[in-house]
Amino acid sequence: LAAMNPDICRERENATFNTETLTNMLDGSAEKTRRRREIESLVINDPDFQHDDPNFMSRSERYDAAVKKSSQMIMKLRDYGISDPEEIYFYKRCVHRGFSEPLDLHLGMFLTTLLNQASPTQLDTFFTPAWNLEIVGTYAQTELGHGTHIRKLETTATYDPSTQEFVLNCPTVSSIKWWPGGLGKTSNHAIVLAQLYTLGKCHGLHAFIVPIRCMKTHQPLPGVTVGDIGPKFGFEEVDNGYLKLENVRIPRENMLMKYAQVEPDGSYLKPPSDKLTYGTMVFIRAMIVGESARALSKSCTIAIRYSAVRHQSELRPGEPEPQILDYQAQQYKLFPLLAAAYAFTFVGQYMSDTYHRITGHINQGDFSQLPELHALAAGLKAFTTWTANAGIEVCRMACGGHGYLCCSGLPDIYVTFTPTCTYEGENTVMMLQTARFLVKCYRQAREGQQLSGTVSYLNEQQRLQPQPVSSRPTVVNINDLASLVEAYKLRAAKLVEVAAKSLQGELQRSISQEDAWNNSSIELVRASDAHCHYVVVELFAAKLSEISDTAVHSVLNTLALLYALHGITLNSGDFLQAGLLSVPQLSQITQRIKALLVEIRPNAVALVDSFDYNDEMLNSVLGRYDGNVYESMFEWAKRSPLNRTEVHESYYKYMKPLRSKL
């Protein structure tokens, strides 16, 4: 066993707080940490889950290995009696080392849609076989022609009362289902989103359980054309697929009927809200917020540990080369991202709690908070994925050339994470959904309604009327987190107002509501962004009040200040324009940020250690806990398939003959 790298040892010795205390806080409690580690070690010590490096495998081999692991995973979850969704998720993440896998859509969307949208009778019929993996399903909504504007999806489900069946059709090329994970080769069923026609009338999108492959032979059923859509930017383990349905008949009982129903005679019963069909997307959007935190915290772990062991260039003449983590510019790249990773972890927990709380009410028949849940999940999904996506790339470049190697782990994190900006609702489109809610709330507040929840600040609009900057006291105290939260809130209020006024101005030019909306999109997206930024800063600050350990409190307070101040510098125009900040304060903020970087520096490694990614999960030579990066990089390179023979066959085939010809 190689000794621990001395630099990284020193970093750990210099930390001012106990990493285990912080890990427990991130997990929720010491018991939760213990259980998570227990589950992870079940996987790590399991010989069935030892695997070849996917970087040295073809796509087909990678898919094969992933299906093998997924199948074993299902058996083992059963054997160990792990059935809590959160614990399944820990286990799954560890088995697949953070990669997406062929059963994701089955576990994340097929089962969830069943649970939320099937009637009790349908649950009896479908849930147990799906839980036992006899039924393997996916969520087939997107078509070649439409991903975003789902009201225009073209797949139809037409009810035939004579046989009490639905007849499903993809009538055009653009109506072919395209993208669903696990659809190409793995699934034998799909939840298909289709336009429901009954008694000659279209009732919009509804969800149907459609068998697509024979349960015995796994061959596609008659009328079903199904396959893999081909290699992608990443997601190599996943068989994202296409599906064309031609006169495929399914029983009436296969339409999910918890809310909307079609009676045997074809009459249609409306759901209490037609947005309930979109519920699974809200669930995954809420989950993605936590994924942003994970992707960013992993990337920071790799880049910060590596920066602690990497020495480069000369800082002071005659002295040894410093750790690259000592460069202010390096700290300025990484520490705000570290702060964001912490912020998003707390926001992810909040989003998950909020989802479960409001879904609880929905299940009791109270739909009043659905619009806020939708707006929050959509906005925070977009806000956090955009930041994390850009942040992963910053971390990669902060590792210099070695960050470009697959063994750094960073390319895989990036290609696996980046589609979260697109799937489950393209980010710009999601920001515009949040803006729609904000503008509505703004108008309600103007009409005198009292708003509650995350938008309650819009109640204070009278107080926020524009005043000349000079006549108004400067709002921000840059050393006080509560004051920074207030500034973010006022910025959000201001930008919501700017967006609402833009709409109003456009409408006064007597153009249509829709054109006014399109002509105000830039303001609308900015308003949502400011709203989400406020929510994140507010939640980070609120989290601090729950921390009793003074050492941990102190270091997280520093991170929260850095997160808030750095966000102000990135958006200084907004704060200046709104009169929330003065020009001299901007340079004070820069000075304050520099001081915060210095404060964080001795704790940087401990702060990433606290995320508690074991080496198997991190899968990065640069992010290794022991810091022995060069040795393991050399070992990894030796295993490259090109090195299997000393002389590659291409030499004999092309180079050698060429030489004799010249």
Ligand X SMILES: Cc1cc2nc3c(=O)[nH]c(=O)nc-3n(C[C@H](O)[C@H](O)[C@H](O)COP(=O)(O)OP(=O)(O)OC[C@H]3O[C@@H](n4cnc5c(N)ncnc54)[C@H](O)[C@@H]3O)c2cc1C
Ligand Y SMILES: CCCCCCCC/C=C\CCCCCCCCCCCCC/C=C/C(=O)SCCNC(=O)CCNC(=O)[C@H](O)C(C)(C)COP(=O)(O)OP(=O)(O)OC[C@H]1O[C@@H](n2cnc3c(N)ncnc32)[C@H](O)[C@@H]1OP(=O)(O)O
Per CB under 6 A, which of residues 156..185 are in contact with ligand Y?
181
Instruction: Kindly report the number of other CB atoms within 10 A of residue 645's CB atom.
Output: 9
- Tally Cβ neighbours within 10 Å of residue 199: 12
Q: What residues between 31 and 90 interact with ligand Y by CB under 6 A?
A: 83, 85, 88-89
Structure tokens at 454: 């995350």
The reply to whether 425 sits near ligand Y by the rule CB under 6 A is yes
Residues 99 and 416: their CA atoms lie apart, in Å, by 7
Please give the structure tokens belonging to residue 456.
């309650």
Contacts of 629 (CB under 8 A, 6+ apart): 5, 306, 309, 310, 402, 621, 622
Is residue 116 part of the contact set for ligand Y (CB under 6 A)? no
Binding residues: 142, 181
Give the per-residue contact string, 382-421, with ligand Y (x = CB under 6 A; - = no): ----------------------------------------
Bind-site residues for FAD: 142, 181
Distance CA 606, CA 610 (A): 6
Question: Cβ 106 to ligand Y, closest distance in Å?
Answer: 8
Which x/- pattern, by CB under 6 A, does the window 354-383 give for ligand Y? ----------------xx--x---------
Residue range at the interface with ligand Y (CB under 6 A); choices 27-35, 102-110, 380-388, 565-573: 102-110
CB nearer to ligand X: give 243 or 487.
243
CA atoms within 13 A on the CB side of 52: 15
Which range, of 32-40, 68-76, 143-151, 386-394, touches ligand X by CB under 6 A? 143-151
Number of Cβ atoms within 10 Å of the Cβ of 521: 15
Question: What one-character DSSP code corresponds to residue 136?
Answer: -
Q: Which positions from 152 through 211 interact with ligand X, judged by CB under 6 A?
A: 179-181
Q: What is the DSSP letter of 644?
A: S
Q: How far is the CB of 334 from ligand Y (least distance, A)?
A: 28
Give the total of residues touching ligand X (CB under 6 A). Answer: 21
Q: Which of 55, 56, 147, 274 binds ligand X (CB under 6 A)?
A: 147
Q: Write down the residue that tokens 């980046």 correspond to.
A: 418
Q: From the CB of residue 393, how many other CB atoms can be counted at a distance below 10 Å?
A: 16
424 classed as catalytic: yes
Strand partners, 206: 194
> Can you tell me which of 436, 553, 592, 601 binds ligand Y, judged by CB under 6 A?
436
Please give the distance of CA 447 from its chain centroid, rounded to a whole number.
36
Which residues, numbered 207-246, are part of the site for ligand Y (CB under 6 A)?
none
Q: Check residue 432 for interaction with ligand X (CB under 6 A).
A: yes
What phi and psi values does residue 16 have, to the nearest 5 degrees? -100, 0
The correct pick among 73, 105, 495, 596 for binding ligand X (CB under 6 A) is 105
**Binding piece for ligand Y, criterion CB under 6 A, among 143-151, 536-544, 562-570, 643-651:** 143-151
Q: Where are the alpha helices (DSSP H) in 509-520?
A: 513-519
| Sign of torsion over alpha carbons 224, 229, 230, 231 | negative
| Contact pattern for ligand X over residues 232 through 261, marking x by CB under 6 A | ---x----x---------------------
Closest separation in Å from C-beta 558 to ligand X: 36
- Find the angle CA(218)-CA(222)-CA(228) to the nearest 5 degrees: 55
Closest CB 518 distance from ligand X, rounded Å: 7
Contact yes or no for 166/158 (Cβ under 8 A): yes
By CB under 6 A, is residue 119 in contact with ligand X? no
**Alpha helices (runs of H) in 81-151, residue ranges in sequence order:** 85-95, 104-105, 111-117, 120-131
Among 7, 86, 263, 426, binds ligand X (CB under 6 A): 426
Footprint on this chain of ligand Y (rule: CB under 6 A):
83, 85, 88-89, 104, 107-108, 111-112, 139, 141-142, 148-151, 181, 275, 278, 281-282, 284, 370-371, 374, 423-425, 429, 433, 436
Residues serving a catalytic function are 424
